[in-house]
Amino acid sequence: MSKNRPVVGILTFQGAVQEHIAPLAQVGAEYRLVRLPEELEGLDALIIPGGESTVIHRFLHRYGMIAPMRAFAQKGHRIWGICAGAIVLATNVDGEAGKGASLLEIQVRRNDYGRQLASGANLVFSPEFLPTEGAMMPFIRAPRFAASQSREAKAIATRENGEPVGFIGGSQENILATAFHPELTDVRSFHAWVAGATLSRDIKATRRQARQGDFSRYAPEEPARRCAAP
């Protein structure tokens, strides 16, 4: 691996792991698949992909990943949780204390947008990550974020109705949670953020040209199609 390129881990217990590999390469980052605490060593950042939060929680506890992930975040490393990954990061889930890393003071309700058949794309606005006109983003059995959150978390993305669908927080604003899946679009600004990369001219162009695709193929078959248990 090149020492000049950021190395981003992808938690690979279960979920949409492969979908992040090409986007990371496009922003100049290398990737490493992560299952065990020692595999966090040498990483610059970590992605917790979408999937089934109950399965991810089970393996996080089984393989002793909770404390190492918290220590990783405390060192200032960036962590991005997508959909189920956002649930892993949340301090409050369905009105109870979160069972995962609990690194971001947000309240979420699991699958609150409906079952897989209700999955689809919605227009999302994010001044820091998306063009002014917004971009279509896929929501797949997505968690819903409470409108009122802790001062420790800042909304960075909203739906057209103003409902928050993305938050950033942590002591160094190094924890990001999104209810939607940018990895299934042409948008690369979120991957650039987690890698600490500066968007190149080509990536910025892709950001402006975010496709408005049909994500119905990801429901009902796709979101939990893989289980890569250790």
Residues with active-site annotation: 83, 181, 183
Find out whether 141 is annotated in a ligand binding site. yes
d(CA 88, CA 28) in angstroms, rounded, equals 27
Find out whether 51 is annotated in a ligand binding site. yes
d(CA 50, CA 193) in angstroms, rounded, equals 18
CA 97 distance to own-chain centroid: 20
Find out whether 28 is annotated in a ligand binding site. no
Find out whether 95 is annotated in a ligand binding site. no
Find out whether 32 is annotated in a ligand binding site. no
In three state form, how does the secondary structure of the chain look?
CCCCCCEEEEECCCCCCHHHHHHHHHCCCEEEEECCHHHHCCCCEEEECCCCHHHHHHHHHHCCCHHHHHHHHHCCCEEEEECHHHHHHEEEECCEECCCCCCEEEEEECCCCCCHHHCEEEEEECCCCCCCCCEEEEECCCCEECCCCCCCEEEEEEECCCCEEEEEECCCCCEEEECCCHHHCCCCHHHHHHHCCCCCHHHHHHHHCCCCCCCHHHCCCCCCCCCCCC
Find out whether 10 is annotated in a ligand binding site. no
Annotated binding site for L-glutamine, which residues?
51-53, 110, 140-141
